[in-house]
Amino acid sequence: MAEGVGKVTAVLAPLVFAGLYATTGGVLWPLTSVAVLMLAGGLIAAAFGPETKGASFT
Amino acid sequence: MVGATRTVEDVLRGGGFTSFHRRVVLITGFAWTFVAFEIILISLVLPVIGSEFGIFDLGTFTPRDPFAYGAVAAATLVGSLIGSLTLGRLSDARGRRFLFQASVLSYSAFTALTALSFNVPSLFLLRMLAGVGLGGLLVIDPAILSEYLPPQHRGRYMVLLDFFWPAGFLVAIAFWYVFVIQLGGAWRLLFVAAAFPAFIAFLFRRTIPESPFYLARQGRLQEASSVLRTVARTEVSSAELAAEPAIPRAPMSALFRGDLLRRAIVTIGVWIALNFSYYGLFLWLPPALAGFGIVNFGNPNTLALFLVFSALAQFPGYAASFLLVDRWGRKRTLALFLILGGLSGYVFATARDFWTLVVGLFFVSFFNLGAWGAVYPYTSRRNTARPGSAWRKESAR
């Protein structure tokens, strides 16, 4: 399911980039949004993610 | 009379890694390369097509209509979402072999037909239809690979499959350079030529039999044992082979209960971060690079160098992740690559000089693709569990 959400996000990403580009008139904010989301994902994984090595999802 | 004492997994485990597996790794790897090629290609060609259709200004290298530009860039992914949902499930019911070939031929045909686009809506529609086949392949290709591999080698070779992804990026750059730059904007010819991965369907048809898991689940044990003799190079009779049980489907709500809740939320967050950053960045890369105003991309060779540089940075990213996941842990590797990817992405976004731009681009590509290498083993059951539904395989690309 996470991957399904990821696929929807993949579709939205170029459109959100376009929206930010059109609104701000440049690439600074669209690229910053890319950076912020990566950073946020990493911090969430570091703070709350369990280690899954050797674990099964079922 | 011998009883049913061995499962498909037992036979694969006992047979080890054979020359058959080398062929499967290569063919599924080529298929993976061409999926990346097809998805990335539009981002490179779109400025030229967009210029012809009035949504991009090649003089300033900026989109005239950013939303139309973004929509066309996303069209393949829209189709891919539909294809993953429908063709992945269909391959569980109808077999991997037919659906693999149908997916390859479908995306190749619609890629060739993209040459006939006459305006933005027709371009969007044809890229979306090509994306349906790509989406099918995105779930069926790794499913096929995992269903032939012996379980003790499955994790390593499934991660190896991802090394073929940046190769697709490089092939796309080569096509763009030859057809758009050297042949003066010949994008229609490019899409006709880009249908060449269709040959994989014929290669596959000649080389790869039906998945033994699929056959055993259908009760076709005679055929399953015949395939296993070829794959595992070991004697196995249909009488000793156990039928595979149907895959139970747990309700989605089970993911949000008990111990799985925290893991589900983190996993969703990570997938959102990765997909947004990868497709936001790489599908907009040419105009984004030009948007800095630091480098004059009037000379297309300069843009080509930046694109190749970005693609090459992805290989060591995967390699580093591949090594660290086992030695250092999946969570730590994934979190580190995402955090460093975010920081280098910020350096890239705020670059004011040539070298900051180059270094930022290198590291954001390195860490982003490295994070993809870590997210699969972090998320998936595939490295530890038995193969099953194609839809439940990884492939959120």
Interface test with A, best of B265, B272, B386 (most A CBs within 10 A): B272
Residue B77 has what pLDDT?
Answer: 94
Residue B255 has what pLDDT?
Answer: 64
Q: How many CB atoms lie within 10 A of CB A32?
A: 17
Quick one: average pLDDT of B40-53?
Answer: 94
User: Which is nearest to B300 in space by CA: B37, B45, B33, B56?
Assistant: B45
Nearest CA in chain B to A46: B335
Quick one: average pLDDT of B124-147?
Answer: 91
Where b means 16+ CB within 10 Å and e means fewer, B90-111 reads bbbeebbbebbbbbbbbbbebb
* B234 Cβ under 8 Å from any chain A Cβ: no
Q: What is the tens place of the pLDDT at every residue in B362-378?
A: 999 999 999 998 887 78
Quick one: average pLDDT of B287-295?
Answer: 90
| Reported confidence tier of residue B156, pLDDT bands at 50, 70, 90 | confident
Residue B297 has what pLDDT?
Answer: 79
| Reported confidence tier of residue A53, pLDDT bands at 50, 70, 90 | low
Chain A, residues 1-58, CB within 8 A of chain B, namely 1-19, 21-22, 26-28, 30-46, 48-58
Q: Give me B192's structure tokens.
A: 């006709």
Give the separation between CA B33 and CA B375, rounded to whole angstroms. Answer: 19
Percent of chain A with pLDDT over 90: 66
Rounded to two decimals, the pTM is: 0.88
